[in-house]
Amino acid sequence: MQCLHYDKTSLYIEDVALTELANEFGTPLYVYSFKQLVSNFKRFDDAFGDYPHTLCYALKANSNPTILRSLARVGAGADVVSGGELFFALESGIPPEKIVFAGVGKRDIDIEAAIKIGIRGLNVESEMEYEVISDLAERLNRVAPVSLRINPDIDIYGHPYIATGRHGDKFGITGEAALRLINRIKNDDYCDLVGIHAHIGSQITEMAPYEKLAEYMADIARKALQAGHRLEYIDFGGGFGLDYKNAIEVNIDGQGSDDLVVEPQKIISTFINAVKDTEVPLIIEPGRALVANTGVLITEVLYLKQTGKTNIVIVDAGMTELIRPSLYAAHHEIVPLEIRDPGSMVVDVVGPICESSDFFAREREILNVGRGDYLAVLTAGAYGFSLSSTYNARPKSLELMVRGKRVKVIRERQSLDDLWVE
Ligand SMILES: Cc1ncc(COP(=O)(O)O)c(C=O)c1O
């Protein structure tokens, strides 16, 4: 992680030693870097040059209010998937005309709210959903701005749980269904076709799926334009993958770079080249790429033990704080906050939750650690806290934002009273 470095043997985020934060605030603890967040945003924004565009941050990756406000301030829009996320986006200061609404199961109440608020576009994910949106708009006597979420049947060659653009996945509509809707919406007084959308999956690490997507979307966009629709945007979704395995060099003065696997400039110019003759503005919806490498999860070693041939390190964070390893066998680097011993051991790093799937790493070589040491689970800023739970009656973690030397609590740790709700 670029925001992380070892100064001698201590791990720092920006100018703050993480051990000091763990001592002061306790663990488990999420810590984010403000500078990393803003520089991630700028890198994508700059990649568009002067081509008109909006970066609609996918709130699901991390919807901490301070993170959202920081992104709103630098000009981000929002990709939301629920009435709750729509509320968060508006509360954080993102204007309605920069908000797009996806999701296969939008409730009537959320569709009505989106229409009344005047968001940029509702991504239609089925023909039945289009009919519902049209009926609700008629009842409200408003015109709903709709966009077609296309499922182009493109594989991302990643974990099946985060692939969303293959036929058979629940997301979007086929190209044929899109052509049918392009014709139907022409005669609809209550819906305007304002966009074409796709999001083919997450943690994409190859160029080929983006190249196929660019061609596919350009073709549908042209057909929509030929049919007489005035498209306001072509939305290529998110999915930009990171190199989770190279988050930091674990040595004295080691630095890190869990950078994007494919340079954003390369992806964005592929999108622009495919559609620039249409002059339709572009949207992308990065989630992970904006926040993953801004955050670390700090945890304390509770016990070490051996069962069979397996050495196990038990820490005080678990799948309740970061479920990605359990859910998608995702890799997160794990390093000590203080390098005390250059020797290493091969261990399973597990949490305290009563599930065998509660682990951060299996058969992983890590530096030697003992009871009471702190560990950092790296690249944890996306789909970390936002997927966290209170299973086993565990209050949710505290979250901190570091900016230079400054430290700000950006969400208090939950108390047991917050959980004991009758
Ligand atoms: C519609 C949509 N857009 C954007 C994203 C963000 O994906 P990522 O975090 O991989 O960029 C998602 C993630 O699931 C999504 O469903």
10-residue averages of pLDDT along the chain (422 residues): 89 97 98 96 97 98 98 98 98 98 97 98 97 98 97 81 76 94 97 97 94 96 97 97 86 70 95 97 98 97 97 98 96 96 96 97 97 98 98 98 98 98 94
Task: Answer whether the bond into residue 28 is a cis peptide, omega within 30°.
Answer: yes
User: What burial letters (b/e) apply to 60-82, b meaning 16+ CB within 10 Å?
Assistant: bbbbbebbbebbbeeebbbbbbb
pLDDT score of 251: 64
Minimum CA distance residue for ligand 1 atom 5: 238
Of the options 1.20.1250.20, 3.20.20.10, 3.20.20.80, 3.40.630.10, the CATH number for the domain spanning 34-290: 3.20.20.10
Please give the CATH topology (third level) of the domain spanning 4-31+293-412: Lyase, Ornithine Decarboxylase; Chain A, domain 1 (2.40.37)
- Ligand 1 centre to CA of 285 (Å) is 6
- Ligand 1 centre to CA of 288 (Å) is 8
pLDDT score of 248: 81
pLDDT score of 158: 75
pLDDT score of 371: 98
- Is there an atom of ligand 1 within 6 Å of 78 CB? no
- Is there an atom of ligand 1 within 6 Å of 34 CB? no
pLDDT in tens, 135-179: 999 999 999 999 999 999 887 777 777 667 777 888 899 999 999
- Per-domain residue ranges of the chain: 4-31+293-412, 34-290
| For the CA of 286, the nearest atom of ligand 1 | 11
pLDDT score of 378: 96
Minimum CA distance residue for ligand 1 atom 16: 199
- Ligand 1 centre to CA of 241 (Å) is 11
> What gap in Å lies between CA 276 and CA 257, rounded to an integer?
33
pLDDT score of 155: 79
- Ligand 1 centre to CA of 58 (Å) is 6
pLDDT in tens, 304-363: 999 999 999 999 999 999 999 999 999 999 999 999 998 999 999 999 999 999 999 999
- Ligand 1 centre to CA of 199 (Å) is 7
Q: Which of 54, 63, 79 to mutate to test the pocket of ligand 1 (most atoms within 8 A of CB)?
A: 79
pLDDT score of 381: 98
- Is there an atom of ligand 1 within 6 Å of 202 CB? yes
Amino acid identity of 103?
A: G
- Is there an atom of ligand 1 within 6 Å of 324 CB? no
> What gap in Å lies between CA 273 and CA 276, rounded to an integer?
6
pLDDT score of 258: 67
Q: Which of 44, 54, 60, 383 to mutate to test the pocket of ligand 1 (most atoms within 8 A of CB)?
A: 60
The gap between the terminal CA atoms of the chain, to the nearest Å, is: 42
pLDDT score of 250: 67
- Is there an atom of ligand 1 within 6 Å of 285 CB? yes
Secondary structure of the chain in the HEC alphabet? CCCEEEECCEEEECCEEHHHHHHHHCCCEEEEEHHHHHHHHHHHHHHCCCCCEEEEEEHHHCCCHHHHHHHHHCCCEEEECCHHHHHHHHHCCCCHHHEEECCCCCCHHHHHHHHHHCCCEEEECCHHHHHHHHHHHHHHCCCEEEEEEECCCCCCCCCHHHECCCECECCCECHHHHHHHHHHHHCCCCEEEEEEECCCECCECCCHHHHHHHHHHHHHHHHHHHCCCCCCEEECCCCECECHHHCCCCCCCCECCCCECCCHHHHHHHHHHHHHHHCCCEEECCCHHHHHHHEEEEEEEEEEEEECCEEEEEECCCCCCCCHHHHHCCCCCEEECECCCCCEEEEEEECCCCCCCCEEEEEEEEECCCCCCEEEECCCCCCCHHHCCCCCCCCCCEEEEEECCEEEEEECCCCHHHHCCC
- Ligand 1 centre to CA of 316 (Å) is 29
Q: Is the pTM of this model over 0.85?
A: yes
pLDDT score of 256: 63
- Is there an atom of ligand 1 within 6 Å of 287 CB? yes
Question: Which residues are identified as catalytic?
Answer: 354
- Is there an atom of ligand 1 within 6 Å of 85 CB? no
Minimum CA distance residue for ligand 1 atom 13: 202
| For the CA of 103, the nearest atom of ligand 1 | 1
